């Protein structure tokens, strides 16, 4: 009997209508378009409107993933949402999405691993498929970082945007080469103060803004992401030349380029959306996947390597053949 494996069969994304350019930020902050581009590669970001929520964006992305796959919502067994910006402490964003999609069975839950959330959620979903507990499962990243940003802090507010991305996984008997080959997760709680939010539901005396020591995060990011990529390739006896596409977390173009250089991957094999989306945290990888699959860059049979690092610090990688 062949081992079960998870196929990535559906892709969807949602970006709010409102676009905020660097020039718009420069009009009210001590910054400039040139300064932001040079340090981050970002030119604009999408910002949630009054009717955009973590639930509404996740639902829109999930609906598009189901449409792409030609799968009815009634056939979905579970929903996992990776988010650090839920609309409520509970119920989980996932069960709200479950209701919006009209799912009457199965289950849903959230995962909070900051910018690594999608890789963590993908790993969890893959394990559920391999165990035989689910046949089809939605994995979603949905973030509304604009609502936890200190808009007077030019060191952080220029970096982030809002959006949601979704992937539908479907079980296969593993007879073919396609599917998620493996995932590898890590965290280091001693570095938790490098990137965090200074408030929570249980600590109302704090303002709840995102805080970051950017230089330290950058230093950790390039090293840890490179190691994570080496780890997942070594697990399958592969080299950098075997990778068709690198789909990294879209935090900063300098980090993406640093990892690509270490991997000796040319720019044309790296999916980049950070210039237009900014950092959408757990939504960034599925948004990038959705774009690259739909525009024809990523095709059936391609070997795709995904990696991310976020607050915690958390980091991880995933390897999949479409």
Asked if 22 is an active-site residue, the reply is: no
Of 46, 184, 277, 279, which one is the catalytic site residue? 279
Three-state DSSP at 200 gives strand
CB-neighbour burial class of residue 89 (10 A; exposed 0-12, middle 13-18, buried 19+): exposed
Computed from CA positions of residues 299, 300, 302, 306, in that sequence, does the dihedral angle turn out positive or negative?
Answer: positive
Task: Tell me whether strands 195-197 and 210-212 are parallel, antiparallel or unpaired.
Answer: antiparallel
Question: Which candidate in 46, 184, 220, 249 is catalytic?
Answer: 249
The Cα-based distances of 276 to 13, 225, 267 in angstroms read: 14, 22, 17
Measured CA to CA, the distance from residue 293 to residue 285 in angstroms comes to 12
Cross-strand partners of 46: 19
Query: 127 with 78: CB under 8 angstroms?
Result: no
Set 46, 115, 184, 220: catalytic member: 115
Element (H, E) at 5: strand 5-14
Closest to 77 (Cα-Cα) out of 103, 95, 110: 103
Catalytic, 115? Answer yes
Token pair belonging to 121: 């959620």
Clarify whether 277 is annotated catalytic.
no
Helix (H, G, I), strand (E, B) or coil at 241: helix
Active site amino acids: 115, 249, 279
């Amino acid at each position: 009997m062949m081992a079960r494996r998870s196929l990535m069969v559906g892709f969807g994304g949602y970006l709010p209508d409102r676009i905020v350019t660097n020039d718009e930020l420069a009009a009210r902050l001590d910054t400039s378009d040139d300064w932001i581009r040079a340090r981050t590669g970002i030119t604009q970001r999408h910002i949630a409107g009054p009717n955009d929520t973590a639930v509404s964006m996740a639902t829109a992305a999930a609906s598009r993933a189901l449409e792409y796959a030609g799968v009815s919502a009634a056939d979905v067994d579970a929903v996992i949402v990776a988010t650090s910006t839920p609309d409520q402490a509970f119920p989980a964003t996932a069960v709200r999405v479950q209701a919006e999609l009209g799912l009457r069975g199965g289950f849903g839950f959230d995962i909070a691993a900051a910018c690594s959330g999608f890789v963590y959620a993908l790993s969890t979903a893959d394990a559920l498929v391999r165990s035989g507990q689910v046949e089809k499962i939605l994995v979603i990243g949905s973030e509304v970082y604009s609502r936890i940003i200190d808009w007077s802090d030019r060191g952080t507010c220029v970096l982030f945007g809002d959006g949601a991305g979704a992937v539908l996984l479907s079980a296969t008997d593993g007879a073919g080469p396609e599917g998620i080959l493996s995932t590898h997760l890590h965290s280091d709680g001693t570095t938790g103060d490098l990137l965090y939010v200074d408030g929570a539901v249980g600590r109302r005396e704090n303002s709840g803004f995102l805080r970051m020591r950017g230089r330290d995060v950058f230093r950790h990011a390039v090293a840890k992401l490179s190691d994570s990529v080496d780890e997942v390739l070594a697990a399958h006896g592969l080299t950098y030349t075997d990778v068709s596409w690198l789909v990294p977390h879209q935090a900063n173009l300098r980090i993406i380029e640093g990892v690509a250089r270490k991997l000796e991957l040319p720019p044309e094999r790296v999916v980049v959306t950070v210039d237009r989306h900014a950092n959408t945290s757990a939504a960034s990888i599925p948004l990038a996947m959705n774009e690259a699959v739909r525009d024809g860059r990523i095709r059936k049979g391609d070997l795709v390597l995904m990696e991310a690092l976020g607050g915690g610090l958390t980091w991880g990688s995933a390897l999949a053949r479409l």
